[in-house]
Amino acid sequence: MRRPLPTPPPMNRTPLLAALLAVALPAFAQDALTTVAERSDFVRTGRYDEVIALCDAFAAKYPNVVRCETFGTTPEGRSMKVLIASTSGALTPEAARAKNLPVTLMQGGIHAGEIDGKDAGFLALRELLDGKLAKGALDRQVFVFVPVFNVDGHERFRAWNRPNQRGPEEMGWRATAQNLNLNRDYMKADAPEMRAMLALIERWDPVAYVDLHVTDGAKFQHDLAVQVEPVNSGDEKLRLAGRALRQGTMDYIAKRGGMPLPFYPSFVKGDDPMSGFEDGVSTPRFSLGYMQLRNRMAMLVETHSWRPYKYRVNTTHDAIVAVLQQVAANGAAWQRMEREADERATKLGGTAVPLDYKATDASRTIDFKGYAYTRTMSPISGALMTRYDETRPQVWRIPLHDVVVPRISADAPRAGYVVPAAWVDMVKPTLDAHAIRYERIDAPLSNLAAQAWRADTIKFSSDSFEGHQRLDAQGKWAPETRSLVAGTLFVPIAQPKARLIMGLLEPTAPDAIAAWGRTNAAFERKEYMEDYVAEEEAEKMLAANPALRAEFEKRVKDDPDFAKSPDRRLEFFYRRHSAWDDRYGLYPVLRVDTAPR
């Protein structure tokens, strides 16, 4: 049976009465640590001023166990609050490292309409501190809790911000005040909130990073999805710890009556349950895909949006407790495993490293607890529409594609990457946001033996995404000798964040700086040859070079699209002319096998 939530204390009738009771009766001090959600029987959730008040109240009641800190400021000037809790007395990163204590970092409200984690986290923390559950768990770890990551979005507060979610009555908004989705920002780090979070991660170096969400999607009986990486990605030996964390969390929730899933329940084909599900690895723009690049574990907790708010908070609470208990029991061993993964990462140079993953066509049939449904043409949308009957539970026999393999891999450079001085301003802020180590070369580099990447195909996205015009370019690395002016950056691959470096600097990685359009100017043509000039130059080139004539005539014969395109025919000659821009399509980052000096 699921553990019932505690009976909420009676609501104070007036602020004055509440103040008098708080002064006169110490027993009422506990009420200061309860939430609006609890006092309303989970009909409502509080505004952000409640987070600030609770942060201070927890620190005041448990001064040697809890610290309340501000770790950033939002674009609208709000303080980003974090609670640090440990009965070990280690309430700073330095103290945690001195005691070799593992750190668990959890966040709620990265999507501020999905706010279960905020209320569940405060509830769980209070019960932990009162010794009502998981006794001793905070002796053996530091719990770093961010109740609301997207603070400005949280205060865009109204009903129906999440129309496909049951409760609370009002909630925050998905995106930030700058209309950025923080859970697409881990790699590019555009938002000040994200840069603050990455700095918090760097300071505390958590053994596990837990991101608390609520699903979108269909109606079904399962109440929670628990995904962890590394499981299908990242350091292979560290995947053992990832699997253990995922399974331990699911087992704990199942014993308490929950129905957890180890994959995100999104249909392969939009609205068709019979298409089944596909597991995979999130790209590192997401929290789940990001931390494995740092050789650390990440967990995505997704409660089911159609469950009532009280039920979802309870389920999230159980997931939080499950993780904290496991870190208390296994955190020291997991820390060692992560440090060993760090050491292995420093030796990735010259080896093939996956950059992206996919599920194969292989599948197995699973029993999935859904509801009876119909699929009929809608007179409103004119589309085939699925309608669920929640009064009729039903088991669906559907495929699950859960064999995950690399989609894209690249050989790590033997020494590292070189960023020419002209492009340092485009690249350095992102390296700094992720605390990646690099060296500035203050002298010119002559005849540097390097590898350069040139695009064979260049395709810019037609739509803006998160404020960027993304780039899809295909090409290859090839040896080149380059001379560079002073001010070049050298990013050595021999460091623990080697996978993260490749995720940022390999041009075909899904969330690289190139993919996010930071280097788009390098892939734009800036000079042209007029058609009449190209005609004249082509005639000269054909007359002077029989081999070129043969190549051109064969291309016209064998490629009908080429033969029909005047532009492509003239470009054939322009690309072979000395006037052609030899930097067009040249990715402005080099790879080297020997560190430049």
Is it true that the peptide bond before 102 is cis, omega within 30 degrees of 0?
Answer: no
Any bridge partners for residue 387, and if so which? 374
- How confident is residue 461, by pLDDT bands cut at 50, 70 and 90? very high
Cβ-defined contacts of 268-271 (< 8 Å, 24+): 268/399, 268/401, 271/218, 271/375, 271/384, 271/385, 271/386
pLDDT in tens, 186-196: 999 999 999 99
Q: What 3-state DSSP class applies to 184?
A: helix
Average pLDDT over residues 204-229: 96
Amino acid 32: pLDDT = 81
Fold classified for 15-271+281-344:
Aminopeptidase (3.40.630)
pLDDT in tens, 403-434: 999 999 999 999 999 999 999 999 999 999 99
What's the one-letter identity of residue 81? Answer: K
Neighbours of 122 (CB within 10 A): 28
Amino acid 11: pLDDT = 36
Distance CA 194, CA 433 (A): 9
Q: Which two tokens stand for residue 122?
A: 């405060």
| Proportion of the chain in helix, strand, coil states, percent, rounded to 5 | 35, 25, 40
Amino acid 271: pLDDT = 84
Question: Does residue 13 surpass a pLDDT of 90?
Answer: no
pLDDT in tens, 232-266: 999 999 999 999 999 999 999 999 999 999 999 99
Question: Does residue 27 surpass a pLDDT of 60?
Answer: no
Question: Does residue 509 surpass a pLDDT of 90?
Answer: yes
Cα–Cα distances in Å, from 489 out to 250, 266, 332, 431, 445? 45, 42, 36, 11, 11
pLDDT higher at 522 or 216: 522
Question: Does residue 3 surpass a pLDDT of 70?
Answer: no
Tallying the residues shown for the chain, one arrives at 597
Average pLDDT over residues 62-72: 98
Amino acid 555: pLDDT = 96
pLDDT higher at 365 or 216: 365
Amino acid 5: pLDDT = 47
Amino acid 491: pLDDT = 98
DSSP 455-496: EEEEEE-SS-BTTB--EEEEEEEEEEEEEE-TTEEEEES-ST
Amino acid 216: pLDDT = 85
Question: Does residue 504 surpass a pLDDT of 60?
Answer: yes
- E-only strand ranges, 176-221: 208-214
Q: Can you give the pTM of this predicted structure?
A: 0.93
Amino acid 15: pLDDT = 38
Question: Does residue 470 surpass a pLDDT of 80?
Answer: yes
Average pLDDT over residues 440-446: 97
Between vectors from CA 323 to CA 255 and to CA 113, what angle results, nearest 5°?
95
Question: Does residue 26 surpass a pLDDT of 70?
Answer: no
Question: Does residue 24 surpass a pLDDT of 90?
Answer: no
pLDDT in tens, 310-363: 999 999 999 999 999 999 999 999 999 999 999 999 999 999 999 999 999 999
How confident is the prediction for the chain on average, in pLDDT? 94
Residue 565 neighbours by CB under 8 Å, 6+ apart: none
Average pLDDT over residues 125-140: 95
Amino acid 331: pLDDT = 98
Question: Does residue 448 surpass a pLDDT of 70?
Answer: yes
Question: Does residue 558 surpass a pLDDT of 70?
Answer: yes
For the chain, the domains span 15-271+281-344, 364-400, 410-525+584-592, 531-574
CB 277 within 8 A of CB 189: no
DSSP class of 532: H
Amino acid 270: pLDDT = 81
Amino acid 31: pLDDT = 77
Average pLDDT over residues 84-110: 98
Amino acid 217: pLDDT = 84
Cα–Cα distances in Å, from 37 out to 43, 322, 476? 6, 22, 55
% of the chain with per-residue pLDDT over 90: 93
Amino acid 539: pLDDT = 96
Q: Which two tokens stand for residue 502?
A: 């490749």
Quick one: which H or E segment has residue 536?
A: helix 531-544
Question: Does residue 102 surpass a pLDDT of 60?
Answer: yes
Amino acid 19: pLDDT = 38
Amino acid 6: pLDDT = 43
